[in-house]
Structure 1
Amino acid sequence: MRNGRFKLFVELGDDAKGRRIRKTKTIVATGPRQAAKMLATYEVEVYNSVHINPEPRHQLMIKLALVGD
């Protein structure tokens, strides 16, 4: 974005239809380094507030591999 604004995305995996589940937040930061720190904080906040598996795509790939055999 512009004027020191950054859009943060946190991926939460896929839903039943295969669409990505994402949480977003727009922040104001002085630069990319500060934005990266704020992203790490936001990611922890999202993962702690939602009960999810941190690597759902990995498990999905394992399930697909097992079905294919």
Structure 2
Amino acid sequence: MHIASVTRHVTAERVTQQARNVLMSLDDMRTAGIRYLIRDNAGYFTEAFDAVFTVLSARVVPILPARPA
């Protein structure tokens, strides 16, 4: 698990850039181990955000609203 920066003003561009920043901080061996990204369905998780991980061949798994309970 990695925690990116925190803000009250979340935007799609910001979360996408934070995803890129996290991956840039990891070496190739650690990024190769990313097989899944589990995320909620918040509006700021766009196709651009998902693409940051799918380029690594990771499977993006959106969870249902109010899960986990």
Task: Using structure 1 for the length normalisation, give the TM-score.
Answer: 0.30
Larger radius of gyration: 1
Taking CA–CA contacts closer than 8 Å with sequence separation of 6 or more, which of the two structures ends up with the larger relative contact order?
Answer: 2
- Structure with the higher fraction of residues in helix conformation: 1
Task: Using structure 2 for the length normalisation, give the TM-score.
Answer: 0.30
